[in-house]
Structure 1
């Protein structure tokens, strides 16, 4: 595992930061799990959130149990592994399984269309992993309820098809025990976004067929380095992240184009944004973007020679080193990297909205084709709205696109028979809401991020509300044609998704963040219209 600096300014900032950290004995203290590092106000939280430092060893205790679970699933022909989890409960398994090239269906959404795709998979081969640290995550609770009913309607005992991963004593543990579901308890002293090497990362990955022992082996190899003052990749990376941010380079451009690891930037995005974006400061990860050469960018190449910093190593080691580096960066930024004080705002807003007789949708200020515009704008059409948003981004700011839509819907687009891969890719991109990020990025030298809602609420949502006051936000919702009821709850998935979007919108507006909501009255037509408008903005 190596971290190297490839730009003189970054090397100088990192060297200065590392010198201060070493003088304070930080490497040895952090490796030993010293909760006093981040100050008196953070000590209580840190004291119960440093268990990730020993997971490469302590998680080995799970291996026999995981082996039995995986063996039983294979013996019963349960090859369709579905993971219901949000944030730290889903992002790491997604990376692990994609890198190992084993199939895993991840449900980190409340979009009815995306959930229906999972429900259409053959039930006779399906095993569901329900993962929630708190045991009260509304999305995960909804998925569990939907699948329980589906299994029962098919004459399948849910107790033979559902595995629960949660913290000891959580509401989900009690529910699982009462229902007879197998329960794998996670380490309670590990926060969700630091849980890649815990039961949350390992259980679904092992069931899907990934080599989780090797993951732990690769992480354990670098563990002895984390107490060193020199030759410590976690210290080197943390000093670069924190030192660069203190010097004004707080936009983290992640480049993994040459890496054999699949999807690591999305996991890093949650870890860094949710850990550092608070108290008006933070480091903003930008995924899938080309560097603009802006003065506030720090480009990190994962297994790539491009960029200001190069980070090279296997996945298990990458997980551990990025966690360590994020804790170090938090120390340099003088924030608590283990809490998420603003995440609960959107959750509370969503709960309050769901208690209302009807969601307060408001009236659109503009309707352009299949797109309704809500918010403050003087534009006369959709290209004008997008242009206004781009011009509203301050010199040190960013534009965040947040889409409460089906992230797999682009694959529904018609592709002519005989089309080659390039033609298929072009067709998918022309129907993919995520293409909007690249189109808008062409029209500004400021970073443009993209998040799928409600997934990003457990990730960059903390940074949006707790980080610097320099973000401009474009929130996208869409009409639901075929909704999914949530058994035992007075709402559908579509209603929950819209309430989550409106709750997040309210939290942003309450903080004075410039925000516009676009509502697609026809999703497919709306996406196409929106992408066309972005090219005219």
Structure 2
């Protein structure tokens, strides 16, 4: 029989509650320690990191100071009504969920694809304000976006002083980007330094672009504040129940239930995967299109529905009976999932605040940008598709990739708008392979599931898709283009995966439109 936990309008329902895990966490005083921001909860090895990463537990209270500041800034920039967010991972996914859910327009630029960057630069430039968001201040993608927009404003005839007015920079105190922003004459908003990027939904990273786009951020803060007392309770603790249930699963299929929250699964994916995928442990989130989409369910897969209002174990009209449902207001959802992930980390005996393998692909990328792409002979050429990693034809290579693997990860280094059709590959692969299948747009996934790919259980098979851009685009002030950066990121990630001797098929599309149709056709006919 399912059980229900509720607080502040948010409800978690679990079909098979993890009662033993729940009670064990209570016995270890986990709720009270988390509420008190006690860094010892995850053990001595995690303590130094946790000591400077627990600000998210009550950061919403400090974020109240942003409300009048952002209202004033929005008035000052009233003529700039096209908001572009240049950010990666946690810096971009939360505001994307907030604005999509609340019906506000926000252009999220979290790519190095030259076509997608060029399209953004050509859209209402004279009315654009660019929010440059980077916690470290050294994120290569975000720095490249900043350079491209700065040059575009100058090319449009703006003076440096005029161009600076088109930028709002969100970063940590003392970061390199803070100094650059002052030189640019940009508006600077400093974020809470004691919050990691993937836990930053209710900090300046989530709230600044959302407020500039027209969101009432006070409502989100109020929702989180109302939910917050429940995370320290031993009983009636929705976040604890969710974390305990998640810790028992190997895969979590995340789906919007159609009741008002849009894209929350993408945000939860990066939070869970990057937080738990390490030490050969972890829970892999699988974002699915609808609750009825193919997921290749295993004995260790939990179907999780997420929404704003529906509360029932059966989703009306679909016949779906989720293992876990989480329903409630968005501000409470953010805090609930963050706390649940921290509780799951405790149950799994890992540190949920570090990301020890994320830098590996970054370092590989930096070396490749200096030395050039490694040469490789293709294993096959089939129409518009060049294949590396598995010999034979396209169809044969795909089938071999799916043999006896735990999950399949599709990684698309393409334009997520112009090449959006490739995302339908996830359902086809899940159906054909019989395996849990994820789909990630690159390089955004490198800042989320990329950690799980390297640090989590080594049971995955990887399909990387790259494509020749129709036209490249320079990164101003750098000796490389966006196309070269994108190719270096793909090659750097291939090196990281190959070092773990996991099955890896690299497909390069010499003609993107033709190659996508050919690849989808190969799956449909197999």
TM-score (norm 2): 0.93
The superposition leaves residues 277-331 of structure 1 with CA deviations (integer Å, 9 ceiling, x where unpaired) of: 0000000000015344420111112135331111111100000000000000000
Q: Could you tell me which residue of structure 2 aligns to residue 276 of structure 1? A: 276
What displacement does 1:255 show? 2.1
One of 407, 413, 417 as aligned partner of 2:416: 407
Distance 2:63 2:265 in 1: 24
1:255 aligns with 2:259: no
5 Å-filtered alignment, 1:293-308, equals 293-303=297-307, 305=313, 306-308=321-323
Distance 2:256 2:152 in 1: 39
- In structure 2, the gaps of 5 or more residues are 1-8, 314-320
One of 380, 388, 396 as aligned partner of 2:400: 388
Task: Give the 3 Å change call, closer, same or farther, for CA 4–163 of structure 1 in structure 2.
Answer: closer
Distance 1:437 1:175 in 2: 40
329-338 or 150-159, which moves further after superposition?
Answer: 150-159
One of 506, 517, 526 as aligned partner of 2:495: 506
What displacement does 1:206 show? 0.4
Distance 2:277 2:227 in 1: 27
Distance 1:61 1:251 in 2: 39
Q: Could you tell me which residue of structure 2 aligns to residue 317 of structure 1? A: 332
Distance 1:175 1:399 in 2: 41
- In structure 1, the gaps of 5 or more residues are 411-430
Q: Could you tell me which residue of structure 1 aligns to residue 422 of structure 2? A: 433
One of 53, 65, 69 as aligned partner of 2:69: 65
What displacement does 1:523 show? 0.7
Distance 1:293 1:469 in 2: 19
One of 124, 137, 141 as aligned partner of 2:139: 137
Distance 1:139 1:497 in 2: 9
One of 170, 176, 181 as aligned partner of 1:176: 181
Q: Could you tell me which residue of structure 1 aligns to residue 515 of structure 2? A: 526
Q: Could you tell me which residue of structure 2 aligns to residue 372 of structure 1? A: 386
Distance 1:535 1:292 in 2: 17
Distance 1:67 1:2 in 2: 28
Contact 1:278 1:466 in 2 (8 A): yes
One of 338, 341, 346 as aligned partner of 2:361: 346
The superposition leaves residues 111-140 of structure 1 with CA deviations (integer Å, 9 ceiling, x where unpaired) of: 001111111112111110000000000000
The superposition leaves residues 470-514 of structure 1 with CA deviations (integer Å, 9 ceiling, x where unpaired) of: 000000110122111001100000000000000000000011121
Contact 1:3 1:309 in 2 (8 A): no
Distance 1:144 1:209 in 2: 23
What displacement does 1:6 show? 4.2
Distance 1:512 1:59 in 2: 45
Q: Could you tell me which residue of structure 1 aligns to residue 230 of structure 2? A: 225
Contact 1:382 1:533 in 2 (8 A): yes
- Measured on the aligned residues, the alpha-carbon RMSD in Å equals 1.2
Distance 1:173 1:271 in 2: 26
Alignment partner of 1:443: what SS?
Answer: helix
What displacement does 1:529 show? 0.6
Distance 2:257 2:13 in 1: 18
What displacement does 1:392 show? 4.2
1:106 aligns with 2:115: no
Alignment partner of 1:225: what SS?
Answer: helix
Q: Could you tell me which residue of structure 2 aligns to residue 479 of structure 1? A: 468
Contact 2:294 2:431 in 1 (8 A): no
Moved over 2 A (4+): 1-7, 289-293, 303-306
Task: Give the 3 Å change call, closer, same or farther, for CA 2–213 of structure 1 in structure 2.
Answer: closer
Task: Give the 3 Å change call, closer, same or farther, for CA 6–18 of structure 1 in structure 2.
Answer: closer
Q: Could you tell me which residue of structure 2 aligns to residue 444 of structure 1? A: 433
Contact 1:83 1:130 in 2 (8 A): yes
Distance 2:375 2:456 in 1: 27
One of 2, 14, 19 as aligned partner of 1:15: 19
What displacement does 1:143 show? 0.3
Task: Give the 3 Å change call, closer, same or farther, for CA 519–291 of structure 1 in structure 2.
Answer: closer
Alignment partner of 2:64: what SS?
Answer: helix
Distance 1:291 1:434 in 2: 14
Alignment partner of 2:61: what SS?
Answer: helix
What displacement does 1:361 show? 3.5
One of 449, 456, 463 as aligned partner of 2:445: 456
Q: Could you tell me which residue of structure 2 aligns to residue 197 of structure 1? A: 202
Q: Could you tell me which residue of structure 1 aligns to residue 505 of structure 2? A: 516
What displacement does 1:536 show? 2.4
5 Å-filtered alignment, 1:38-187, equals 38-74=42-78, 77-156=79-158, 157-187=162-192
Q: Could you tell me which residue of structure 1 aligns to residue 213 of structure 2? A: 208
Alignment partner of 2:474: what SS?
Answer: coil
Contact 1:392 1:472 in 2 (8 A): no
Distance 1:279 1:3 in 2: 32
Alignment partner of 1:318: what SS?
Answer: helix
1:489 aligns with 2:478: yes
Distance 1:280 1:328 in 2: 18
65-74 or 337-346, which moves further after superposition?
Answer: 65-74
TM-score (norm 1): 0.91
What displacement does 1:178 show? 1.8
The superposition leaves residues 160-216 of structure 1 with CA deviations (integer Å, 9 ceiling, x where unpaired) of: 100000000000001011221110000000000000000000000000111111011
Contact 2:295 2:427 in 1 (8 A): no
Distance 2:14 2:124 in 1: 50
